[in-house]
Amino acid sequence: MAFLERTVHLSQGPMAVAVSGGSDSLALLLLAHRWGRCVGRPLVAFTVDHGLRPESTQEAQRVQTYASSLGIRHKILTWAPPQNLPLGHLERMAREARYSLLAEACWQHRCSVLLLGHTQEDQIETLLLRASHGSGAFGLAGMLPVRFLHPHLALVRPLLSFRRHILQAFLHQQGVRWISDPHNANRLFQRVQIRQALHQVDPRTYQDLCACSRFYAAERRLYARATQRFLQKNATLLGLKVHVDPKAFSLLSLPLRQYILRHILTCVGGKPYPPNEKALQRACTSIASTVSTRITLGRVLLEKRARFLVFSREQRNPPPPLRINPQGFACWDGRFWLENSTSSPCWIAPPMEEEERFPPGILQIVSSVENLFKN
């Protein structure tokens, strides 16, 4: 696990690993456990029971039994899915709920690293899925090996260079049986269609896809560094509004302007994904015009004024109320990580003042806008 040696120094405290019971996450659990014992790093395992299938609870308990046999602390996190949701919405909500539950569990157990079992196949599927949605060059870079969900939690994917059959052979060798989720064979999901199509791809084409992902990942790293330098020099955070120097912005190349724009929109708007390339191009064209501009994109109001480009969260489509349990931890509006340090439940709900002040006892850990200048 040389990758872990290079990355976990980013944070301190116990490591957490998300374990579904599938081959990828079980292999990660076993490898991380062995590495943790060698270096003295404690490990905590979390399994999310989505409740999407009748057997999901039994499968989560099976994972718990295996983790306990290794001497690993384990906790089952439960989610009650809403009824009668379309399949696409249900998949998205399940993903968001999974990360929210995992982040809260990591906070409660003071885990600063969360290990995820995504493999090389998952990376190529992500590349093709994003390409089909018109995400552009930077989407083709795929998932980041290390990403900070917030400054206190790093998401680390140590297995992105591993093929799934290698991990399964390792588990066979160790006598470990994994769980096969029938959702992974349901062709109603686009990712499953892509996965099955990849099984028919010849090795040369598959390697070309891997090379494509590596190329765009390297390009994304260059743009990320340039974006950080630009924002530190030409952007100001006033409250939760971002002010950018329009003259400095106009001197940049179009691809870099689009990258900076997608980064700002994601942080200010709180949406998990940025607008597509065509929408970003239209926004850059509007900004480049000589007239004042006022547009909304990605839940963000963008105003071109005489001296600044101003980005703020639009007032339409406010987030639903959020209940935070005593000593609980949650994300609100995709922008705020909040801890309820009181002994009573607390509700966070709009409308809120411009400064987004929170009730007494609610500790704001970080806002996504602040990450513009920290990551």
Contact of 179 with 20, CB cutoff 8 Å:
yes
The helix/strand/coil state of 219 is: helix
Write out the residue limits of the CATH 3.30.465 domain(s) in the chain: 239-313
State the span(s) of the chain assigned CATH 3.40.50.620.
Answer: 2-198
Buried b / exposed e along 180-203 (16+ C-beta atoms within 10 A): ebeeeeeeeeebebbbeeeeeeee
Report the top-level CATH class of 2-198: alpha beta
pLDDT above 70 as % of the chain: 89
Q: Are 29 and 47 in contact (CB under 8 A)?
A: no
Q: What is the pLDDT of residues 257-302, one digit of tens each?
A: 999 999 999 999 988 888 888 899 999 999 988 778 899 999 999 9
List strand residue ranges (DSSP E) for the chain, in order. 15-18, 43-49, 73-78, 113-115, 146-150, 153-156, 235-238, 241-244, 293-297, 300-304, 309-313, 322-324, 329-332, 336-340, 346-348, 362-367
Q: What is the pTM of this model?
A: 0.86
The fold adopted by the segment(s) 239-313 is 3.30.465
Measured in degrees and rounded to the nearest 5, phi and psi for residue 336 equal -120, 130
What is the tens place of the pLDDT at every residue in 215-265?
Answer: 999 999 999 999 999 999 999 988 889 999 999 999 999 999 999 999 999
| Of 348, 375, 331, the residue nearest 97 (C-alpha) | 331
Nearest to 60 by CA among 185, 184, 179, 183: 179
